[in-house]
Amino acid sequence: MDHEAVSATGSDGYLSPLVAHVQSTLSEARVRGDSVGLLLVHAAAIDRIDALHGFNAGDKMSNKIAGVLRSGALRKNDALATLSRDEFACILWPVSSEGVAMLAAQRVMTLLGATPVELGGISELADIAIGIAMFPDHAQQAESLLQRAKHALHTARGHRDRIWIYEIQAVASAVDPSQYAARLRRALDQNSLTLHYMPQASLHTGRLTGAEALLRWTDDVLGIVPPCATVQAAEAAGLIDRLTQWVVTSAVQQCVEFRNMDPEFSVSVNVSPSNLREPDLPLYIDRALRTWDVNASNLTVEITESAMMNDPNAATQRLQELKSHGVRLSIDDFGTGYSSMYYLAQLPLDELKIDLSFVRSMLEVPINAKIVRSLIELAQNLELTVVAEGVDNEAIMAALTHLGCDYMQGYYLGQAAPAAELMARLRKQSQSN
Ligand code: MG
Ligand code: MG
């Protein structure tokens, strides 16, 4: 299975200083039996800053990022190497598991992801993505460890969280993109896709009240395909309606079990912009609800703000049809698009979900705290329930409770997990009544 180079040097004998440095760390770690985590941090904004504000500003951004990584994200024994002005390697040694490397990456995201960097008169977001690879799990040699972190970094760019851990299966994913269509069709035929459920809880009562169904596709050849790549492949292959039908039917079927634990439990599904152009969408949602005898009020359909604003007239019509069936409607990732307040007030919405980028950094970035507070007020004025995404810790939860937010979702409550795990938590909750 291993495609690693045995030697750290290239065929011409050249050894990059970074490879040499990583190699010496790995040699020591090998002797001690330690694991090492490699984080590749890329700041896409530097290119743009060079063009907009000049190379001095780009250099400043680069230095500030290195400073934040050194002082805020790395521990005493970790090392930082600057690969280029916009790319940094953090060598975490020792780490007990990839979960620890993930926490470090989340820390970097909190510090740099949504926090604008001050560059003397201007402030800019660094536009960070992070790829992670682990020694010895993902690679035994420095060169292949770096290469695999880079591979993960490319995947991270297309992923919602902008963080990705290398997957062993992903070795094979240097496949032709057209393969995705064939593989996805096969996965749909063989019913080999799954849904994971990200729990939601009430900030008023602390109880689990719902879950967002998230698509998981692990393919024998492609490895783990991130949800956004799955949706892109489905759109390109004309399979998006089939995929959404599958998601809706599976989520509604699973809802029967959740509802037995709590009759009010709500399952949310995500619908893509092209689904909104599909006249059959309300029909197949209705059909799924009838088939499994689930109340429409137990189902929430999430539409992103940007999808809504692509074609507000078509979206409004489709949402009104869905509403007439009694389904709850939610506007997702709110705050990142450019909503017309007029349309927003006209839409038959029930819920507003605040985008995680604001919530995650609200305690460090005053402007984001102000945005979160304004969005909660906006939701209250429009009589929408409000969900905060990206609640990573107790302090954020406390701040949101104080601001009057209704529901939360995020790592503090739990990652997306198989239905059985959520069922176990609901069972425990119902027993503790
Ligand atoms: Mg969503
Ligand atoms: Mg969302």
> Could you report the per-residue pLDDT of 136-150, keeping only the tens digit for each?
988 888 888 998 999
Tokens of 178: 């057209």
Residues of the chain within CATH 3.30.70.270 domain(s) are 4-168
Looking at residue 330, what is its pLDDT? Answer: 96
The closest ligand to the CA of 227 turns out to be 1
Residues of the chain within CATH 3.20.20.450 domain(s) are 175-431
The closest ligand to the CA of 215 turns out to be 1
End-to-end CA distance of the chain: 51
Q: Is 205 exposed, middle or buried (0-12, 13-18, 19+ CB in 10 A)?
A: exposed
The mean pLDDT values, 10 residues at a time, for the chain of 433 residues are: 40 74 90 92 91 91 93 87 92 87 86 81 88 91 90 82 75 57 90 95 97 92 79 84 94 97 96 84 94 96 81 83 95 79 86 92 91 96 96 96 97 93 95 81
Looking at residue 5, what is its pLDDT? Answer: 35
Determine if the peptide bond prior to 94 is cis (ω within 30°): yes
Prediction pTM value: 0.64
Query: Nearest-CA neighbor of 347 among 378, 381, 316?
Result: 316
Looking at residue 97, what is its pLDDT? Answer: 82
The closest ligand to the CA of 354 turns out to be 2
Expressed in angstroms and rounded, the spacing between residue 212 Cα and the centre of ligand 1 is: 7
* C-alpha torsion sign, points 426, 428, 429, 431: positive
Looking at residue 7, what is its pLDDT? Answer: 39
CATH number of 4-168: 3.30.70.270
Looking at residue 11, what is its pLDDT? Answer: 53
Residue 388, classed as helix, strand or coil, is strand
* Half-sphere exposure of residue 72: CA atoms within 13 angstroms, side-chain side: 15
β partners of residue 130: 41, 163
For residue 125, how many other CB atoms are within 10 A of its CB?
A: 16
Looking at residue 337, what is its pLDDT? Answer: 66
Separation of alpha carbons 433 and 29, rounded Å: 49
Looking at residue 238, what is its pLDDT? Answer: 86
The closest ligand to the CA of 390 turns out to be 2
Phi/psi of residue 213, each to 5°?
Answer: -80, 125
Looking at residue 58, what is its pLDDT? Answer: 93
Q: Residue 328: enclosing H or E segment and its boundaries?
A: strand 328-334
Expressed in angstroms and rounded, the spacing between residue 171 Cα and the centre of ligand 2 is: 29
Expressed in angstroms and rounded, the spacing between residue 37 Cα and the centre of ligand 2 is: 29
CATH number of 175-431: 3.20.20.450
Three-class HEC string of 55-78: HHHHHHHHHHHHHHHHHHHCCCCC
Using a CB cutoff of 5 Å, list residues around ligand 2, an ion: 332-333
Expressed in angstroms and rounded, the spacing between residue 422 Cα and the centre of ligand 2 is: 19
Query: Nearest-CA neighbor of 4 among 141, 131, 134?
Result: 141
Looking at residue 93, what is its pLDDT? Answer: 92
Tokens of 187: 């996965």
Expressed in angstroms and rounded, the spacing between residue 213 Cα and the centre of ligand 1 is: 8
Looking at residue 171, what is its pLDDT? Answer: 39
Looking at residue 13, what is its pLDDT? Answer: 66
Helix ranges restricted to H, 54-158: 55-68, 98-108, 142-157
Helix ranges restricted to H, 125-271: 142-157, 178-189, 227-236, 240-261
Looking at residue 408, what is its pLDDT? Answer: 98
The 87-95 sheet, strands edge to edge: 79-84, 87-95, 35-43, 128-135, 163-165
Residue 348 to residues 84, 176, 236, 339, 406, Cα–Cα distance (Å): 49, 42, 30, 15, 19
> Could you report the per-residue pLDDT of 34-43, keeping only the tens digit for each?
999 999 999 9
Place of tokens 């709110």: 334
Expressed in angstroms and rounded, the spacing between residue 333 Cα and the centre of ligand 2 is: 4
